[in-house]
């Protein structure tokens, strides 16, 4: 059996992949994630997932690498991880009553055969109209400062939403498992 490597240091992606009950190791890619001039958010996440997979393959040349990247956008502009409380307040205030689009890419790379499969899954988060008090209460309780869009949908962040729209709820957390299962099967890795 070919080794599976999750090319990520994200505890959220690791927890998602564990749902599939597959044996895998994790390795963190070290790549420059700076967007290229004129690059669309969709193109950026595809490029970064492939770069992550290639970086990991150097250390694991006989493995199947699973890599992903994600960005959130509002009005076509990328919303990054806030990093601090003030930025998170700005992001949630801007998203209040509006839709934020997440693009999550997936790249599965068989390093031994140099075979790639890639996809991008969009996911739409429709925010409720939020008060300043609701935003402050949420941020003080969950402190999602390392999460794009300033929320954790798998936690209390669900209270911020009017509705969610997409093919796979795992996509929002960071790894489109439905697409991953299909690709792994084409790579002869059985999930069930």
Q: How many Cβ atoms are within 10 Å of 188's Cβ, its own excluded?
A: 10
Q: Is 69 a catalytic residue?
A: yes
Cα separation of 139 and 146, whole Å? 12
Question: Which member of 21, 25, 32, 69 is catalytic?
Answer: 69
d(CA 45, CA 33): 9
SS (H, E, C) the chain: CCCEEECCCCHHHHHHHHCCCCCCEECCCCCCCCCCCCCCHHHHHHHHHHHHHHHHHHHCCCCEEEEEEEEEEECCEEECCCCCHHHHHHHHHHHCCCEEEEEEEEEEEECCCCEEEEEEEEEEEEECCCCHHHHHHHHHHHCCCCCCCCCCCCCHHHHHEEEEEECCHHHHHCCCHHHHHHHHHHCCCCCC
Strands 64-74 and 4-6: parallel
**Catalytically annotated residues:** 69
């Amino acid at each position: 059996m070919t080794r599976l490597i999750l090319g990520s240091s994200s505890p959220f992606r690791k927890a998602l992949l564990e749902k599939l009950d597959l044996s895998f190791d994790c390795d963190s890619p070290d790549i420059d994630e700076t967007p290229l001039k004129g690059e669309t958010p969709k193109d950026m996440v595809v490029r970064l997932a492939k770069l992550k997979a290639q970086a990991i393959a150097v250390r694991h040349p006989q493995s199947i690498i699973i890599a992903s990247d994600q960005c959130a956008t509002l009005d076509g502009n990328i919303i990054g991880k806030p990093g601090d409380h003030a930025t998170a307040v700005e992001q949630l205030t801007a998203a209040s009553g509006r839709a934020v689009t997440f693009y999550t890419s997936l790249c599965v790379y068989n390093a031994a055969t140099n075979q790639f499969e890639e996809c991008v899954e969009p996911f739409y988060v429709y925010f409720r109209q939020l008060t300043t008090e609701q935003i402050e209460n949420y941020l003080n309780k969950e402190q999602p400062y390392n999460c794009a869009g300033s929320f954790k949908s798998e936690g209390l962040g669900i209270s911020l939403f009017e509705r969610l729209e997409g093919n796979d709820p795992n996509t929002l957390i960071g790894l489109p498992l439905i697409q991953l299962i299909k690709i792994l099967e084409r790579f002869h890795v059985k999930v069930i």
